[in-house]
Structure formats: structure tokens, C-alpha cells
Amino acid sequence: MSFEPLSFFEPDTKVKRVGEQDEIETFNLESQNTYEKVTEEEPKDEEANFVPLEVLDLPTISTSLPTEVITTVLKLLQPEQVKNFGNQRRQIPSLFTTEELQEYLNSKHLTMVEVVKLSEYIGHNLKSTLTITQLPTCSSSEVTAYLTKIIACPFLNLTEEERNTIYDLASFVMTANFAPALKGNTTRMVQIDGLEREILLYEPALTEDKVGNITWGASLELAKLIVDGCSEEWISNKETTILELGAGTGLVTIVLGILMHKVVSTDLPEIIDNLSKNIMLNKLHCTLSQSFETFDDTSLINVTSLDWRDPLDFLQRTHQPEGYKTIVISDPVYSSQHPYWVQKAVNATLSKDDSSRVVFMVGQRDRFQDVRDNLWRLMIESGLKVISEKVINGFDDYGELPYDYKVFGWN
């Protein structure tokens, strides 16, 4: 099973089909010649000779295993660039035009020659060999055991540098596939239907409890609703400044900025530096401020710190003693204390205007059901009522997950 960082926090309460050989164009002189040596010996009915590989088909781990063979296997096992959530692995057998295949191998820092050599070594055709990329999804426990054997093997025939390269790559493949939060620094690509550009989100390696440096599915679902125009029910016009509480890696803020909404994007002091970098990574200008003197309320996007336990300090620094008419917040609770902090922050920062709205998108994780129920109860006790609500089925890095979308306004 995948490691989920929220497991640290316990609530105190209860392509097509693979093309035939005549579709293959020249890759380059060396790889084409090598490829032809392999395919000349294959039966004419290539589809009948196509067998998806299993972990047992991978090279047996031993000190005599050629370095280039094991590194090719490990590179094929690497996950692709993180894109949105859910199972994003491409089905390689349906991707066999020259340009598509070469592009895919380039993304894994592999050449056609290396993959053909691996095919020869394990005795399978090229199409079958490429199904190695699917093994982490369909045989996760067996792949983990295989990677563990690699890390445990002394590889005495290799130099220290070669051994370290293999160990580092095997460790990365293991954590990236089966413990995404521990995979180290990475950049996630987000694509949203209706938004013309892709969004890039840099996620530093998880340290301590900085789950704000991870992109969660709730922010994607909220961003999708905003792009679809659902926000019209709680954003009266482009002049309304939107406050985001717990912006994390900045996905919702970035989408609002692309749509030319004015945003004050907030999180804890240790999170906002990466938050501002992500906004600028997506070619949006923002002003980062942590003091009264540097806050610029004329900027389209302002990034600043906000501790939910002390929201009055934030209001003084942002020159907004009356609060904000629109607040958005996604996945804010993973501790029994958090609903009370959210209540305090919302009560202090939400304008008392009748048209004011606070928008939630919260994942329905079973272990935090009591915490979510308490959050909704505290919102009602604060004098708010539910204006709109629905359940949205989505994903995060750990699989499918339904989300509560709720819009509150004053009674």
C-alpha cells in the first residue's frame, strides 16, 4: 500500500495498438540496425508473440548482472511525470509510432539501443519488453520485493559509483511508485479541461509535517469547478478580492489568477515561499509579504502568512479590518483541533456582508469523518448556513476519493 502522509495525523475524536513492423520508421542508424536484428527472428504473426511481462520475467538479480541491463529495467519502472491524480501511466503497447516511442523513451532518459539490448537479454520482443513500465501498477508487491533484492545485492563486480547509481535509482523507483509523498523534490503537471494552459507545481520533498507542500485532490476539484464557471455563484465580479486559506502549492490561487481574479493567497510562514515560487513558475506575478510595510494591495496576487489561530494579525497587515467577501479553502482538516482553528479564521476574515461566501472542498477520508462533521457543525454555530452543496468524485495520489463541496453564507 502507498504511504499517505496524513496517516501521521490521527484525529483525537473517534494509442493505438502496437503497430506492425512496417509502421516503424528509422530511429537512427545504430538503433534501426539493432532493432532489425531482433525483429528478423520474430514470427510474422507478431501479435501472437506479444506477451505482457510479469515480474518473474525480469532479470535475476546477481553480481554478474550487466549494469546497463539493470539500469534500463529501473528506468522503465520509473513513474512518468506526475500529472493530475490517479493512474497516469500510459499503456505502452498502444504507443508504437517512431515519434511517440522515441519521445517516451527520452522522458525516461533511455535510448532505443538500450531497450533493444534488454529485450535480447530477457528473450522477449520489444513490445513485450516495454510492458515492464506497467508492472508497478499491476504487481506492486512483487515489484517492491524485486527492488528490495536490488538494494540488498552487493554488486561486487561494479565500481562504487556504479553501485551507488543503481541503489539510488532503485530507491527512487520504490518511493516514487509506492510512497509518492516520500519521492523527493518533484514537479507535478496539472491539466484542467477548459483551461488553455498547463499548470506546473513544484513539490519539495516532504519534511516534518509540511503537508502543505503536497498538492491534494481537493484543490484540483475546486480548481475544476472554478474553470467550469461554478464560482459565479460566489464571486460577484472580478473586483472582489478572494482570500484563500491554506493555499498549499497554490493550484487554486493560480487558476484564479489565470482567470484574472484578484487573490490574497495564504498559508503558514514555512509554506508561503514555495507557494509564491509556484505562482511565478506559472508566469503570474505575485507579491510575497510577511510584514505590514511590504504588503501591496494593488497586486493581482498577494501571498502572505496567516496563522488560523491568530487571524487578527493578518487582517491588520492586509488593511482589511472588515474582512473578505469570498473565502476559499480546500482540505483544511486532518486533526481534531483544525475545525476550531478554521472556525476562528473564518469568523475573523469573512465579511459580514449578506453576499459573503466561504467555499469548502474537503476529501471524505473515513478516518476523519468526525473531524469533518465537527467542522460543518461549527460553521453552523458561527451563524452560517449552507447555500449550495454536492459530492464530487475525484482522485488524489492514493486513489479515488469523494469530496464534499459546500458553500456557506450568513443566515
- How remote is the C-alpha of 23 from its chain's centroid? 35
Looking at residues 228-255, what average pLDDT do you find?
A: 89
Q: How far is CA 243 from CA 92, 174, 219, 278, 315, in A?
A: 43, 38, 14, 17, 11
Q: What is the pLDDT of residue 16?
A: 38
Query: What are φ and ψ of residue 361, in 5° steps?
Result: -135, 115
**Residue 294: all three cell numbers together:** 511590504
Its sign, for the CA torsion 255, 261, 267, 270, is positive
Looking at residues 299-307, what average pLDDT do you find?
A: 93
- How remote is the C-alpha of 235 from its chain's centroid? 27
Whole-number percent of the chain with pLDDT over 70: 80
d(CA 104, CA 188): 17
Looking at residues 319-327, what average pLDDT do you find?
A: 90
Q: What is the pLDDT of residue 319?
A: 80
Q: Which domains does the chain have, with CATH numbers?
A: 50-178 (no CATH), 186-409 (3.40.50.150)
**Residues 202-237: b if buried by 16+ CB within 10 A, e if exposed:** bbbebeeebbbbbbbbbbbbbbbbbbeebbeebbee
Q: What is the pLDDT of residue 405?
A: 97
d(CA 98, CA 120): 20
Q: What is the pLDDT of residues 387-399, one digit of tens each?
A: 999 999 998 877 8
d(CA 143, CA 177): 10
Least confident range from 21-25, 161-165, 274-278: namely: 21-25
List the one residue out of 348, 349, 358 whose CA is nearest residue 384. 358
Mean pLDDT of the chain: 83
Q: What is the pLDDT of residue 184?
A: 57
Least confident range from 86-95, 255-264, 297-306: namely: 86-95
**C-alpha neighbours within 13 Å on the C-beta side of residue 97:** 4
* Beta pairing partners, 201: 188
- 186 pLDDT above the threshold of 80: no
Helix (H, G, I), strand (E, B) or coil at 288: strand
Q: Is the distance from CB of 253 to CB of 279 less than 8 angstroms?
A: yes
d(CA 44, CA 52): 18
Looking at residues 76-99, what average pLDDT do you find?
A: 69
Q: What's at 325, amino acid-wise?
A: K
Please count the residues of the chain: 411
**Residues 331-344: b if buried by 16+ CB within 10 A, e if exposed:** bbbbbbebbbbbbb
Q: What is the pLDDT of residues 344-380, one digit of tens each?
A: 999 999 999 999 999 999 999 999 999 999 999 999 9
For the question of whether the overall pTM of this predicted structure is more than 0.85, the answer is no
